[in-house]
Amino acid sequence: MRSSLAAVFLMGLLGAALARAGTAPRIAAYYDGGMPVAAIPAERLDTILYAFGEPDARDLCSAPTAAQRRTFRQLRRLRQRHPRLHLLVSIGGWDAAPQYSDLALTAASRARFARSCIRLFIERQRFDGLDIDWEFPVQGGMNKSRREDRADATALLRELRARLDALGRTTHRHYLLTAAIPAGTWQKGGAYSVSDSYDLASIVPYVDWLNVMTYDMNTIFSPMSGFNTPLRPDPRDPTPEPERSRDNLSGAVRYFEAHGVPADKIMLGVPFYGRGFTGVSPRRAGLYSHYSGGFAETPWKTIESRMLTNPEWTRHWSATAQAPWLYDARRHVFFTYDDPRSIALKADFARRERLRGVMIWVLGEDDAHNSLLNALVSHLEPDQRQP
């Protein structure tokens, strides 16, 4: 009898685990208002992360504006039509979170912040969870920072996890907690390692997954022009080691896994935009060149409709990096971006490496036919989209 009960108990645990696995999100997308909520292709997404909520100077989450509350109502109606869709609010961003270092500094400030965010966004606005986008603890970003940030980032996520779980015991559900984490080694101030900012292994127990920003591998902080999201390292790249080995998707994933992040907690970031460099050398059509300035970040829909149709831009493809680029010989501009072919290869990589899935920055930048999203979906088939 005892063994029979044990078997039933174990089968119940297995069933619960399989149920959780079956509903685990695999395509997450940030939404910043760049398209109407009604136009979001929600049937192809597992998670929408609203960007952004903001911390304020009182160690609290800023209350949503009237316009944000209208958007939240629209998102909730969208979730009603697509019951498997999860809604998270992302708090922070590159230049919108100057208070993080202060609010994470003490146990009291972390508790105030956690209570505030949960009350405003989980209890009142009925989001399914929170995403913490602190760019970046200790160094690498544009906001206030201090040495204690690295440990405080873990403590903040631990506090949020504990309070979300406490609420979940009351409401009989699980609330999601995720974090947006950088991957590129060129940030403000020069060469950078994500481990300078985060103790990756220590935050894993508190998050459902990490939204790994495996884009912006080369920006105006880089010493030379290069790919935004190369899939693999290019031996022709003159970038010094270890940056060359890490500034690509496969290298970044290996780094995160080597530092304690399991594959099933990694969401591979893909961009629906490109960026460029001006004043580049014609050698290699502007690739791996010193440059004089940056070329504006441009959404895929504009790249497709205006740049790929303009004969002044010549398209090139890197068999090593598995990524395209454009070169304007007249203006000496190098432009790096993703297209359906390179996005499909990234989806193949995520599936092959058994990652949790793919994260998109940002909804509203795809073309009218959703070419980039379609490439993702077609290479993450439903029967393969299990964690």
The catalytic residues are 135
Return the closest-CA partner of residue 156 out of 175, 191, 130, 182.
130
The count of C-alpha atoms lying within 13 angstroms of the C-alpha of 372, restricted to the half-sphere facing its C-beta, is: 29
Sheet with 333-336: strands ordered across: 293-299, 273-278, 333-336, 323-328, 313-318
Cβ atoms < 10 Å from Cβ of 139: 18
DSSP state of 353: T
Q: Are strands 47-53 and 27-31 parallel, antiparallel or unpaired?
A: parallel
Q: Are 306 and 335 in contact (CB under 8 A)?
A: no
Residue 252: C-alpha distances to residues 165, 185, 220, 371 (Å): 30, 10, 20, 26
Q: Are 215 and 271 in contact (CB under 8 A)?
A: yes
DSSP state of 100: H
Q: Are strands 209-213 and 266-271 parallel, antiparallel or unpaired?
A: parallel
Q: Are 215 and 229 in contact (CB under 8 A)?
A: yes
151/99 Cα distance (integer angstroms)? 16
